């Protein structure tokens, strides 16, 4: 076992542990019922091959706060669970594309990020060991194969791509499946239009079409049903949200609406805090509706501050990945992170990874400098990644004792609720 995963796991601050353990116990008591329910859902919805979900755990509530269909941290998973990844990929691809033998992965165009390419290489290795020929084909304008050195001292080769007679190929390599690890924030390139092979996920699930608001509408629907299933208050797993039409941060258009809705949301959160005797101050997160990479995200405690944003702040909120202009935002209940690590109590946020319907691991974003009410995924922010020390599908329901494997099972349940919401996005496009 890697030193990195040497049973160091985050713990909840004492005041918040009690309510979490209660919810955990409740979920464990309903484990079979929950798995049956998931199974019924998977039968009705189209699956997704790769996904990751960001969680925030405040103890009194644990929520999915973002879902990503183009995860970029496969290299941060615990290598001990690599066999689990291989098996999950194997059974998922077998179910989705039983006849396929050659898989093309299309990564992001981050030519300068070796850590990202390490993740792509890890995903490629998982798929290759599942029994597929794998090639990595780049949308960068390259004319010959390009070798990228990786942090683990191996390397990866990017191949140029061509569209020939409606098929995406890389020289003599004709894939039967294209796996997209590029979020298409800048739209669907011509190269990917009108090709005959299946693309997983479909390009219409890229960030040029996805909307966080839509996602959370589906997540709400899923959480409502799940909460009824095991009889909990939906708020325990769901962050309240509102949206706010068109916005232009630079021109200050729509700021009034943003202030008004933020106040409304903070009021609602306060009511729930009162109901649960929570003495913390409510806050909201404002994020670009089509945002990713932690860009254009802002934590707001006093909505009036929104009127005082300076030019730099407004500019930073108005630009998403790839320079895209932000013109819609989601106002979401801020969820405190009361999970901390080590003596320094660094703030930790779990990220759960899935292949098909299977949770295959995850890691914590651990940050020393950020506080418990800020997003830990922000551009330029340095965070450590700490692989989950245990698997997420092996809970152990013992009376009166808290085991870390149970905490990971709770993560896996909440993450799969968000995955179901993504599957609904796919079904409804």
- Choose, by CB under 8 A, the member of 12, 21, 24, 38 that binds a second copy: 38
User: Quick check: 231 binds a second copy (CB under 8 A)?
Assistant: no
Residue choice 91, 111, 313, 316 for contact with a second copy (CB under 8 A) = 91
Q: What is the largest CA-CA distance in the chain?
A: 65
The least CB distance from residue 32 to a second copy, in Å, is 6
170 closest CA partner among 191, 150, 149: 191
Closest CB to a second copy among residues 34, 422: 34
Q: How many CA atoms lie within 13 A of 246 on its CB side?
A: 4
- Contact call for residue 245 and a second copy (CB under 8 A): no
Q: How far is the CB of 82 from a second copy (least distance, A)?
A: 6
- For the chain, the C-alpha Rg in angstroms (whole number) is 21
Q: Is there binding between residue 35 and a second copy (CB under 8 A)?
A: yes
For the bound state, the minimum distance from the C-beta of residue 182 to a second copy, rounded and expressed in Å, comes to 24
Six-digit token string for 416? 């799969």
201 burial via Cβ count (<10 Å: 0-12, 13-18, 19+):
buried
87 binds a second copy (CB under 8 A): yes
- Sort 252 into a burial class: Cβ within 10 Å, 0-12 / 13-18 / 19+: middle
DSSP 8-state class, residue 66 = E
User: Which of 127/247 has CB closer to a second copy?
Assistant: 127
The two tokens of residue 233 are 């208050």
Nearer to a second copy, 299 or 393 (CB): 393
How many angstroms separate the Cα of 220 from the Cα of each of 63, 190, 214, 226, 302?
Answer: 11, 35, 10, 10, 25
Range list of H helices, 58-208: 82-96, 114-129
Q: Quick one: 156 or 381, whose CB is closer to a second copy?
A: 156
Distance CA 429, CA 427 (A): 6
Does residue number 4 form part of the binding site for a second copy (CB under 8 A)?
Answer: no
CB of 99 to a second copy, least distance (A): 8
**Rounded to the nearest 5°, which phi and psi values hold at 408?**
-65, -35
Q: What residues between 184 and 223 interact with a second copy by CB under 8 A?
A: none
Compose the 110-129 pattern: x for residues touching a second copy by CB under 8 A, - for all others: ------------------xx
**Minimum CB distance to a second copy, residue 245 (Å):** 42
User: CB 187: neighbour CB atoms within 10 A?
Assistant: 14
**Is position 83 an interface residue for a second copy (rule: CB under 8 A)?**
yes
Q: Does 391 help bind a second copy (rule: CB under 8 A)?
A: yes
Which residue reads 């799940």 in tokens?
Answer: 226
Q: Is 86 in the site for a second copy (CB under 8 A)?
A: yes
Please give the size of the binding site for a second copy, defined by CB under 8 A. Answer: 36
* Shortest spacing between CB 185 and a second copy, in angstroms: 33
Binding region for a second copy (CB under 8 A) out of 89-97, 232-240, 327-335, 342-350: 89-97
In angstroms, rounded to a whole number, what is the distance separating the alpha carbons of residues 393 and 411? 10
Task: Please give the helix or strand (H or E) that residue 424 lies within, else none.
Answer: helix 404-427
Sites of contact with a second copy (CB under 8 A): 1, 31-32, 34-36, 38-39, 42-43, 80-84, 86-88, 90-91, 94-95, 98, 101, 128-133, 358, 391-395
């Amino acid at each position: 076992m890697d030193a990195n995963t040497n049973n160091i796991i985050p713990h909840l601050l004492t005041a918040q542990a009690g309510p979490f353990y209660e919810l955990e116990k409740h979920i464990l008591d309903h484990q079979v019922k929950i798995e049956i329910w998931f199974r019924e859902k998977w039968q009705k919805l189209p699956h997704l091959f790769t996904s990751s979900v960001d969680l925030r755990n405040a103890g009194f509530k644990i929520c999915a706060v973002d879902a990503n269909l183009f995860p970029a941290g496969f290299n941060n998973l615990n290598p001990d669970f690599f066999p689990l990844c291989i098996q999950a990929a194997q059974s998922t691809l077998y179910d989705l594309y039983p006849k396929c033998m050659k898989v093309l992965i299309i990564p992001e165009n981050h030519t300068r990020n070796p850590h990202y390419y390490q993740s792509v290489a890890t995903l490629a290795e998982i798929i290759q060991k599942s029994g597929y020929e794998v090639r990595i084909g780049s949308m960068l304008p390259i004319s010959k194969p390009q070798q990228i050195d990786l942090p683990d001292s191996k390397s990866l080769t990017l191949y140029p791509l061509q569209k020939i007679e409606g098929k995406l190929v890389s020289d003599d390599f004709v894939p039967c499946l294209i796996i997209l690890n590029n979020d298409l924030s800048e739209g669907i390139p011509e190269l990917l239009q009108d090709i005959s092979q299946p693309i997983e996920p479909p390009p219409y699930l890229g960030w040029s079409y996805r909307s966080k608001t839509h996602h959370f509408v589906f997540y709400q629907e899923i959480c409502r049903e799940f909460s009824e299933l095991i009889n909990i208050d939906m708020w325990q797993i769901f962050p309240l949200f509102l949206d706010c039409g068109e916005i232009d941060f630079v021109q200050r258009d729509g700021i009034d609406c943003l202030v008004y809705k933020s106040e409304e949301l903070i009021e609602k959160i306060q009511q729930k805090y009162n109901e649960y005797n929570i003495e913390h101050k409510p806050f909201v997160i404002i994020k670009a509706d089509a945002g990713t990479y932690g860009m254009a995200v802002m934590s707001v405690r006093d909505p009036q501050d929104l009127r005082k944003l300076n030019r730099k702040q407004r500019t930073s909120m108005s630009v998403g990945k790839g320079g895209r202009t932000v013109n819609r935002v989601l106002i979401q209940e801020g969820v405190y992170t009361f999970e901390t690590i080590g003596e320094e109590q660094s703030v930790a946020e779990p990220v759960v990874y899935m292949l098909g319907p299977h949770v295959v691991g995850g890691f914590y974003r651990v940050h020393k400098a950020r506080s418990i009410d800020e997003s830990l995924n922000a551009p330029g922010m340095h965070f450590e990644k700490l692989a989950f020390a245990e698997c997420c599908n092996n809970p152990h329901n013992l009376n009166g004792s808290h085991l870390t494997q149970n905490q990971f099972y709770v993560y896996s349940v909440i993450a799969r609720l968000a995955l179901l919401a993504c599957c609904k996005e796919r079904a409804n496009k």
